[in-house]
Amino acid sequence: MNGISAWLLSIAGVSVLSVVVDILLPKGQTEKYIKGIFAFVMILVIIAPLPKLLKAEINFNEIFQKEEIKLQEDFIYQQNQNKLTLLKKEIESDLKENNLDGVEVSIYGDIFSDEMQIEKIFVDLTNLVINDKNQHIDIEKTVIETIQKYVLLEKEKIEFNE
C-alpha cells in the first residue's frame, strides 16, 4: 500500500470511528470534549505526511522555471529569426533600388542569444542581372556599403559568391 492510499485510509478510519463514537455516546457534557478530541486527531491525521514532504524539499519554482526558460528560449529564437528575415528583405530591397537586381543575401547570427550578434553575411551574385545602369559600378563596394548601412559588420565578414 503506497503512502497516499494509507493516508486516505487513515482519514476515512478516523472519520468512521468518530461517527460511531458520536452515535454511541450519550448526549451530555462529555460529548463536546469527545468531539473536540476527535477533531484534534483528525487534524493530526491530515497533516501527518507534511514532515515527509518538507524533508523531500519539493521545489515547485524549479519545475515552473524550466518550462518558463524553454518558453523564453523559443520566444527569443522566433524574434531573432523574424529580425534576420526582415533585415534580409530590407537589404535586398535596397540593393534592388541601387539597380542590383537578383542579389540574394543570407545572414548568419546567434539566434538563440537574447542579444543577437550577426556573425557573417553571405552574398550570392549568381543571379545578378547586369543592365546598362549598373555596368560601370563596383558591385562589391556597393553591396558592402548597402549592408553596412543596416549592420555594423567588418568587410571581412561579408563573403561573396559570384
What does the pLDDT look like over 81-127, one tens digit per residue?
A: 998 899 999 988 888 888 788 889 998 888 888 788 888 999 998 88
Residue-wise pLDDT for 5-58, tens only, equals: 888 888 888 888 888 888 888 777 788 888 888 888 888 888 877 777 666 655
SS3 128: coil
d(CA 87, CA 81): 10
Q: Which residues does 162 contact at the CB level (< 8 Å), separation at least 6?
A: 125, 126
Same domain, 73 and 51: no
Same domain, 109 and 53: no
Residue-wise pLDDT for 128-141, tens only, equals: 877 666 667 778 88
Same domain, 77 and 151: yes
- Average pLDDT across the chain, whole number: 81
Same domain, 20 and 70: no
Q: Which ranges in 2-159 belong to alpha helices (H)?
A: 3-24, 29-47, 50-56, 60-97, 139-150
Same domain, 40 and 69: no
SS3 120: strand
Instruction: Please give the residue range of the domain that contains residue 136.
Output: 63-161
Number of domains in the chain: 2
Whole-model pTM: value is 0.55
Grid look-up 529569426 returns 81
d(CA 30, CA 17): 17
